[in-house]
Amino acid sequence: MMNIVITGASSGIGAALATLLASEHRILAIARSAKTLHELATANTNITAFPADISNITESQFSSFLSSAGWSHIDVLINNAGSLINKPFLKITDEDWSEVYQTNVFAVAHLIRIAFPYLKKSKSPHIVNISSMGGVQGSVKFPGLSAYSSSKGALTILTECLAEEFKEENIRVNTLALGSVQTPMLAKAFPGYKASLTSEEMANMIAWFVKEGAVYFNGKTIPVASDTP
C-alpha cells in the first residue's frame, strides 16, 4: 500500500483518480474545496482530506498534517491541480498570467520542495506532473490558450530539470501530457465542447502510470491523447 498525494482532487480527473487509487492505497487529497473533499473522504476511508491552496501551504502545516494522518513518507506526489484561461493573447491581463503560472508552475515547484523530505524516505518515490498536449513542442496549438499552454510547457522542462537533480535520491519525475478530457475545467473554458475521454477513463491510465511508470521512465513527458495532435 502506497502513500499518494493528489492535488486538485475535488473534481474531474483528480477526484476520479483519488477514488480509483484509494481502493488499494492511502490518499492525501488536496484542493481548495473543503466540502467536496470531505464528501470524497467520507465515501472512502483510505482518503484523507486536506483542504488548502497549494500555493500557500507552509512546510510546518504540511508536516503537521502528514503527522496527524500517520504518514512518515510519501511514495507518489501527483501534481494534478491546474488553471486554464481561454482568452485571446491581447486580452490576457497580467493578473491572468499570474493566476495561471502560479497554479500550473510556481505552486507545483513549491509543493515538490516541501514534499521532498518525505519523498526521500520512500523506497520508490515518484513525482507525476499532469501537463497538456498544449505544452508539448510541435503539437497543434489552439487560439486563446497562450497562457495555459506556455505554463504547461514550463512544467515539462521543470520535470526534466528535477529528474536530473533528484537522481542521487532515486526520485523519479515524469510528466503526462494529456489531450482533451471532459472535466469541469474544460467545460468552463470551452462551453459546448465534448471531449472523447471522460475523467474516469483518463484516471485509469494515470493510475497505471502512477504504479508502474517509474520503472520505465524518468524525466520524460509522455503524450496521452486520443484526439489531439
Q: Residue 143: which CATH number? A: 3.40.50.720
Q: What are the Cα distances from residue 200, in Å, to 14, 27, 94, 128, 168?
A: 9, 17, 34, 18, 35
Range of the domain at 40: 3-224
pLDDT tier, 195 (very low <50, low <70, confident <90, very high otherwise):
low
Mean pLDDT of 211-223: 94
Domain total of the chain: 1
Does residue 166 lie in a domain region?
A: yes
The pLDDT of residue 187 is: 65
Does residue 229 lie in a domain region?
A: no
Mean pLDDT of 153-162: 97
Q: Is the pLDDT of residue 33 over 80?
A: yes
The pLDDT of residue 229 is: 43
Average pLDDT of the chain?
91
Active-site annotation holder among 35, 148, 211, 220: 148
8 A C-beta contact, residue 19 and residue 34: no
Does residue 64 lie in a domain region?
A: yes
pLDDT tier, 228 (very low <50, low <70, confident <90, very high otherwise):
low
pTM of the predicted model as reported, rounded to 2 decimal places: 0.93
Distance between CA atoms of 167 and 90, rounded to whole angstroms? Answer: 41
The pLDDT of residue 86 is: 92
| Annotation marks residue 148 as catalytic | yes
The pLDDT of residue 134 is: 78
Instruction: Tell me the pLDDT tens digit for each residue of 45-102.
Output: 999 999 999 999 999 999 999 998 899 999 999 999 999 999 999 999 999 999 999 9
Active-site annotation holder among 101, 118, 141, 152: 152
8 A C-beta contact, residue 8 and residue 81: yes
